[in-house]
Chain A
Amino acid sequence: MRLYAAAVYLFLYGPIALIVLFSFNAGRHAASFECCATSWYSLTFNNTFLIEALLNSLLIAGTTAVLATIMGTMASLALQRVKGVLRLVFDALTYIAIIIPGIVIGIATLVALVTVFDILNPLIAKLWPSDGNAMALGLGYGSVIAAHTLFTMALVIIIVRARIQGMDRSLIEASADLYATPWATFRQVTFPQIFPAVMSGFLLSFTFSFDDFIIAFFVAGPKTTLPIYVFASIRRGITPETNVIATTVLAVSLTLLITAQFLLRSRAPKAGGKG
């Protein structure tokens, strides 16, 4: 039994360990390993195409995380007061957004956006005939961000709401009793209480968006994100460069996820300042 478990783990993590190992390959070929050098790292990060893809990914992930966090937090605060059937509907929609496979989100978003663009673009061209082309809507940053935000916002809602439900309601009453207006109460009591959940929602959203390939593949249009770049380059064969990228992404993602977990588990936030 134990052997069996070991085999499973080896099968799961062996390839990942290999990738990390091979990213420090000193040789010229991906297939044979010579220890140890960071030369591939410097080479990889001098590749302008790759850097552009990386910057695109960072931009998209950053914007997605900010939007999803703000909207998700506001939604979960508002949902507190919603009761009954309406609440059920919102809950269902939230969970559906998470359950739906990425490929469906990708296709659906693509179809929806293309349809909308087909309607809007002629209109725009009519309104601003001279520079209609510059104004024309198309797939790109916006569409990826929109699709990612839809999904990650649901994540944020679920995380933040769990925190709100675990929060002592009487703290809000105590604050109101001590002359704090509703806004002051939010700033000084509610927000510091839910802050860890908001932060971990942010980090998870960032990680998801940064790692996502499927949705981006459908709706990114001409833009290349890092996963798309990797996908494209793999078709030309596995290179040490791929290993470097994978290792870097792995390191960043793990850091963010662990931080998010840590924040979620911290019971009483030490941060929060003095009002």
Chain B
Amino acid sequence: MVEMINGAVDVEFQGVTKRFGDIRAVDNIDLEVSSGAFVSLLGPSGCGKTTSLRLIAGFEQPSAGDVRIGGASVVGVPPYKRPINMVFQNYSLFPHFTVADNIGFGLRQLKPRLSKSEITARVGEMLELVRLQGFEERRTWELSGGQQQRVALARALINRPTVLLLDEPLAALDRKLRQDMQIELQTLQRDVGITFVLVTHDQEEALSMSDTIYLMNEGRIIQMGGARDLYDEPINRYVADFVGKTNFFDGEVAEIKPNGAAIRLANGRVLYGRNPRGGVPLNRNAGGAIAVRPELIHIVKANGSACLTTDVQTTARVKNRIFLGEQTEYLVMAEGFGDILVLASKHAETVSGGFSPGDVVSIGWEDSSALALENTSKGDHSTAVPVPK
């Protein structure tokens, strides 16, 4: 997706811990952001995303470990001496300045001073970049949310920082505008070639925008990788649950296979799943789960003309149907499995004619579509922890 510019590392965390009293907001994190990359920190509320960002910006100092920017340790360096700019969650535009003065703020702080004409010229460039020409003399509170967001972006980008930090920059925008801004941000990042670190709790946003995602929980990094890695190869149940929708079938590990495991469900049925790439093989005699994505499950009319040839098959009754446009989501109840979510494509719907609540259907999936996952939420695999539902 993005060319790694000579492979340089812009931001690096080495065993960084940040404590607030008894809380470990950030717990022994290692992290590496390559130059020019678009990185996301993804996780539920309170998992330490903002704290991580504030450690990079310099608003917080680590309790332990080292924060490095451009290869040099920045522990103890105040924010105003770091080549890093941030787009704040509520934008934090200066209400007593015009749009142009907000955008030019960073340039006005530089020593030696830049000439007025240079500042004006660069502010003009920025206004053009974020498509706000003609708004120079406006007051920030007169702008819409999306416009304020673009001013905040311009105010940060004008300084040509090594890294741009964005703390849930789109959270305050409505859905349509958010999607537009996602594309805009991505294009912008490619155009300016600046490293972006984005914080979000919205997995769709992280998946669609970034090259690398760090999935966090309780101050730790659970899994790092591209959108595909996290979606197709979640290393444990927590990741599979957080990223996208997944059906879980919990049980005891019945058999360890070379590339996966078989798990016996409560009803005695044995399901097979492969190991995710980068995950660890399951232990015998321990708990585990088979995970199947809803879109990998086939659904056909029971006893109909089309019949399933998948490795796993069962009959089920349709409980609910949600029309999503390009797809249709069915909630079905299968004896011995419980509720199962099935996503049927538009194409499959045209073939099958669709189903209504109460219909009896056959569903099934290939063993290769299923993953055998451990029930842990920690990054270090060693301890099994109950997964918060």
Beta-carbon contact of B95 and A268 below 8 Å: yes
Q: In which size bucket is the chain A interface?
A: 20 to 34
Show 15 A/B contacts (Cβ-Cβ < 8 Å), sorted by A.
A171-B92, A173-B92, A174-B86, A174-B93, A174-B94, A176-B59, A176-B78, A176-B79, A177-B59, A178-B106, A179-B110, A182-B80, A188-B105, A271-B96, A275-B101
Scan A237-275; emit 1 where CB is below 8 A from any B CB, else 0.
000000000000000000000000000000011111011
CA distance A177 to B106 in the complex (A): 8
Q: Chain A residues near B110 (CB, 8 Å)?
A: 179
Is A138's CB within 8 Å of the partner chain B?
no
* Nearest CB on B from A199, distance (A): 14
Q: Chain A residues near B79 (CB, 8 Å)?
A: 173, 176-177
Beta-carbon contact of A173 and B109 below 8 Å: no
CA distance A180 to B85 in the complex (A): 12
Beta-carbon contact of B101 and A174 below 8 Å: no
Residues of A125-182 contacting chain B, CB below 8 A: 168, 170-171, 173-182
Is A27's CB within 8 Å of the partner chain B?
no
CA distance A14 to B215 in the complex (A): 74
- Given A268-B141, A274-B101, does the pair A180, B109 have CB atoms closer than 8 Å? yes
Is A18's CB within 8 Å of the partner chain B?
no
Beta-carbon contact of A177 and B96 below 8 Å: no
Scan B58-94; emit 1 where CB is below 8 A from any A CB, else 0.
1100000000000000000011110011101010111
Among A175, A178, A192: residue with most chain B CB under 10 A: A178
Count, A-B residue pairs, CB within 8 A: 71
Residues of A187-201 contacting chain B, CB below 8 A: 188-189, 192-193
* Nearest CB on B from A165, distance (A): 16
Closest B residue, CB atoms, query A193: B96
Is A184's CB within 8 Å of the partner chain B?
yes
Residues of B22-64 contacting chain A, CB below 8 A: 57-59
**Sample of 17 more A-B contacts, CB < 8 Å, known A192-B96, A275-B105:** A173-B79, A176-B58, A176-B78, A176-B79, A177-B80, A177-B85, A178-B80, A178-B85, A180-B80, A181-B80, A181-B109, A188-B105, A193-B95, A268-B95, A270-B96, A274-B101, A275-B108
CA distance A168 to B95 in the complex (A): 10
Beta-carbon contact of A178 and B105 below 8 Å: yes
* Nearest CB on B from A185, distance (A): 8
Beta-carbon contact of A189 and B80 below 8 Å: no
Number of interface residues of B (CB under 8 A): 29
Beta-carbon contact of B88 and A170 below 8 Å: yes
Is B159's CB within 8 Å of the partner chain A?
yes
* Nearest CB on A from B330, distance (A): 45
Partner of A170, one of B80, B92, B156, B159: B92
Is B155's CB within 8 Å of the partner chain A?
yes
Partner of B159, one of A171, A178, A268: A178
Closest B residue, CB atoms, query A272: B96
Q: Chain B residues near A177 (CB, 8 Å)?
A: 57, 59, 79-80, 84-86, 156
CA distance A268 to B141 in the complex (A): 10
Partner of A175, one of B57, B58, B90, B105: B105
CA distance A193 to B94 in the complex (A): 9
Scan B112-130; emit 1 where CB is below 8 A from any A CB, else 0.
0000000000000000000
Q: Chain A residues near B94 (CB, 8 Å)?
A: 171, 174-175, 189
Q: Chain A residues near B95 (CB, 8 Å)?
A: 193, 268
Beta-carbon contact of B101 and A179 below 8 Å: no
Partner of B59, one of A168, A173, A184, A192: A173
Beta-carbon contact of B88 and A173 below 8 Å: yes
Among A171, A174, A184, A268: residue with most chain B CB under 10 A: A174
Q: Chain B residues near A192 (CB, 8 Å)?
A: 96
Q: Chain A residues near B156 (CB, 8 Å)?
A: 177-178
Q: Chain A residues near B93 (CB, 8 Å)?
A: 174
Counting from the closest, the 8 A-B pairs by CB-CB distance are A178-B106, A174-B92, A272-B96, A179-B109, A268-B95, A170-B92, A176-B79, A192-B96
CA distance A177 to B80 in the complex (A): 5
Closest A residue, CB atoms, query B140: A268
Closest B residue, CB atoms, query A173: B59
Beta-carbon contact of B92 and A176 below 8 Å: no
Beta-carbon contact of A184 and B109 below 8 Å: yes
Closest A residue, CB atoms, query B95: A268
Q: Chain B residues near A189 (CB, 8 Å)?
A: 94
Beta-carbon contact of A176 and B101 below 8 Å: no
Partner of B96, one of A174, A178, A181, A268: A268
CA distance A178 to B109 in the complex (A): 8
Closest A residue, CB atoms, query B116: A274
Beta-carbon contact of B90 and A170 below 8 Å: yes
* Nearest CB on A from B61, distance (A): 14
CA distance A245 to B307 in the complex (A): 104
* Nearest CB on B from A172, distance (A): 9
CA distance A179 to B161 in the complex (A): 11
Scan B299-341; emit 1 where CB is below 8 A from any A CB, else 0.
0000000000000000000000000000000000000000000
Residues of B144-161 contacting chain A, CB below 8 A: 155-156, 159
* Nearest CB on A from B375, distance (A): 39
Q: Chain B residues near A175 (CB, 8 Å)?
A: 94, 105
* Nearest CB on A from B214, distance (A): 22
CA distance A14 to B351 in the complex (A): 91
Q: Chain A residues near B81 (CB, 8 Å)?
A: 179
Partner of B92, one of A168, A182, A271: A168
Q: Chain B residues near A180 (CB, 8 Å)?
A: 80, 105, 109
Q: Chain A residues near B86 (CB, 8 Å)?
A: 174, 177
CA distance A268 to B97 in the complex (A): 10
CA distance A274 to B156 in the complex (A): 18
* Nearest CB on A from B64, distance (A): 23
